[in-house]
Chains A and B, each alone.
Chain A
Amino acid sequence: MSKNTLYDKVWNEHVVGVLPTGQTQIFVGRHLMHEVTSPQAFEMVRDRKLRVPHPELTTAVVDHVIPTDNVSRPYKDNQAEVMTAELEKNTKEFKLNFCTEAIGLQGVCHVTFPEQGIIWPGQLVVCGDSHTCTYGAFGALAFGIGTTQVSHVLATETMAMDKLKVRRITVNGKLQKAVTAKDVALHIIRKLTVKGGVGFAYEFGGSVIDSFSMEERMTLCNLAVEGGARLGYVNPDETTYKYLKGKEKAPKADFDKAVSYWKTVASGKDAEYDSVVEIDATTLEPMITWGVNPEQGITVSESIPSLEKFTSKDQEEVIDALKYMGLEAGKPLVGTPVNVVFIGSCTNGRLSDFIAAAKILKGKKVAVKTLVVPGSLAVKKEAERLGLDKIFKDAGCEWRNAGCSMCLAMNPDKLIGNQRSASTSNRNFKGRQGSPTGRTHLMSPYTAAACAIEGKLADPRKYL
Chain B
Amino acid sequence: MAEFVIKENIIDKVTGRAIPKPANDQNTDDIIPARYMKEITFGNLGKYVYFDERNKDGKEVLTHPFNDPTYHGGNILVAGANYGCGSSREHAPQALYRYGIRAIIAESFAEIFAGNCASLGIVGVMIPKAEITALIEFITQNPNTQVIVDLKDKKVKYGKKEIALEIIEGRRQAFLNGTWDALTILQQNKEGIKAVEGKLPYLHFK
Contacts and interface: CB of A to CB of B under 8 A. Distances in A.
Interface of A: 13-17, 19-21, 25, 27, 29, 39-40, 43-44, 47-48, 57, 79, 82-83, 86, 120, 122-123, 147-148, 151-152, 155-160, 251-254, 257-258, 261
Given A14-B196, A21-B179, A48-B183, A254 B40 contact: no
A56 B154 CA distance: 47
B182 A258 contact: no
B157 to A, nearest CB: 30
> Which of A16, A82, A159 has the most B CB atoms < 10 Å from its CB?
A16
Contacts of A155: 183, 186-187
A159 B185 CA distance: 10
B90 A156 contact: no
Contacts of B42: 40, 43-44
A17 B202 contact: no
B40 A86 contact: yes
7 contacts: A20-B1, A21-B182, A27-B200, A29-B202, A57-B203, A254-B205, A258-B205
B202 A258 contact: yes
Interface string B1-18: 100100000000000000
Interface of B: 1, 4, 38, 40-43, 90, 119, 179, 182-183, 185-187, 189, 192-193, 195-197, 199-203, 205-206
Contact of A261 (B1, B192, B201): B201
List the 9 closest pairs (A to B, CB-CB), nearest first.
A39-B40, A251-B205, A20-B4, A27-B196, A254-B205, A16-B192, A156-B186, A253-B206, A17-B192
A157 B41 contact: no
A44 B205 CA distance: 32
Contacts of A120: 202, 205
Contact of B202 (A39, A44, A261): A261
A336 to B, nearest CB: 35
A159 B1 CA distance: 21
Contacts of A151: 183
> Which of B179, B195, B196, B203 has the most A CB atoms < 10 Å from its CB?
B196
Given A27-B200, A40-B42, A147 B90 contact: yes
A254 B202 CA distance: 10
Contacts of B40: 39-40, 82-83, 86
Given A27-B197, A152-B182, A43 B41 contact: yes
Contacts of A152: 182-183, 186
Main secondary structure of the interface of B (DSSP, over half): helix
Given A27-B200, A155-B183, A148 B90 contact: yes
A57 B201 CA distance: 14
A13 B1 CA distance: 24
A27 B192 CA distance: 10
A148 B119 contact: yes
A122 B205 CA distance: 13
B197 A252 contact: no
A257 B205 contact: yes
Contacts of B193: 16, 27, 156-158
B187 to A, nearest CB: 6
A40 B196 contact: no
Contacts of A156: 183, 186-187, 193
Given A82-B40, A86-B40, A152-B182, A122 B189 contact: no
Given A25-B189, A27-B193, A27-B196, A40 B183 contact: no
B206 A254 contact: yes
A13 B187 CA distance: 19
B186 A159 contact: yes
Contacts of A251: 205-206
Given A27-B193, A79-B38, A252-B206, 18 more contacts: A14-B200, A15-B196, A16-B196, A20-B4, A21-B182, A25-B192, A29-B200, A29-B202, A29-B203, A82-B40, A120-B202, A152-B182, A155-B187, A156-B183, A156-B186, A160-B185, A160-B186, A251-B205
> Which of B179, B183, B185, B200 has the most A CB atoms < 10 Å from its CB?
B183
A166 to B, nearest CB: 21
Contacts of A14: 196, 200
Nearest to B196: A27
B202 A122 contact: yes
B24 to A, nearest CB: 29
A262 to B, nearest CB: 9
A436 to B, nearest CB: 15
B205 A21 contact: no
A86 B43 CA distance: 14
A458 to B, nearest CB: 39
A251 B204 CA distance: 10
B174 to A, nearest CB: 9
B192 A19 contact: no
A16 to B, nearest CB: 4
A47 B45 CA distance: 14
Contacts of A57: 203
Contacts of B119: 148
Contact of B179 (A20, A27, A43, A86): A20
Contacts of B90: 40, 147-148
A123 B202 CA distance: 7
A151 B203 CA distance: 21
